[in-house]
């Protein structure tokens, strides 16, 4: 991972083999960032996506591991959940047949690269559990 500050934002380059959620968590810890938003494009060799089933209050995951996958869209935010950095991101990936798959990003392994623009927020965002859905909502 490489990054540089540009005005009020950071430009982050994730390289082959980097794991998106893991790398962004390290970045936020290193820069002492507790809130922000992100968007990105690039490619991944493997991605684990999920969707949340409201009825049984749990995520169902699926692994996509027949690359190449183009990162058509990566969007997310950063907050604190139980005192730890929480990257909450959704991703859309496309395959060589021009099919797209999207959902909550559990993790993805970058190939060949992923370019992310990250905008820190001055506020400290925290999450709390919503009893009705079982999800961790932003506490605002």
pLDDT on residue 110: 98
Tell me the per-residue pLDDT of 10-24, one tens digit each, with 9 for 90 and over.
Answer: 999 999 999 999 999
- Which residues of the chain carry a pLDDT beneath 70? none
Closest CA to 135 of 58, 73, 31, 72: 58
- The pLDDT assigned to 7 comes to 96
Token digits of residue 133? 């859905």
Residue 70 to residue 83: CA distance in whole angstroms:
33
Tens digit of each residue's pLDDT (9 = 90 or more) over 60-84: 999 999 989 999 999 999 999 999 9
Which residues are CB-neighbours of 87 under 8 A, at least 6 positions away? 21, 24, 25, 28, 76, 77, 78
Mind listing the domains of the chain with CATH numbers? 2-138 (3.30.1330.80)
Burial of 87 (0-12, 13-18, 19+ CB in 10 A): buried
């Amino acid at each position: 991972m490489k990054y540089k500050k540009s005005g009020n934002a950071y430009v982050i380059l994730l390289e082959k083999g980097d794991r998106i959620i893991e790398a962004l968590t390290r970045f936020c810890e290193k820069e002492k960032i507790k809130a922000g938003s992100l968007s990105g494009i690039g490619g991944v060799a493997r991605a684990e996506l999920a969707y949340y089933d409201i009825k049984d209050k749990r995520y169902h995951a699926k692994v996509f591991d027949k690359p190449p996958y183009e990162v058509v869209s990566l969007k997310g935010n950063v907050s604190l959940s139980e005192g730890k950095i929480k990257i909450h991101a959704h991703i859309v990936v496309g395959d060589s047949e021009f099919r797209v798959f999207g959902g909550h990003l559990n993790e993805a392994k970058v190939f060949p690269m992923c370019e992310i623009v990250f905008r820190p927020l001055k506020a400290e965002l925290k999450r709390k559990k919503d009893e009705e859905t079982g999800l961790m909502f932003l506490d605002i």
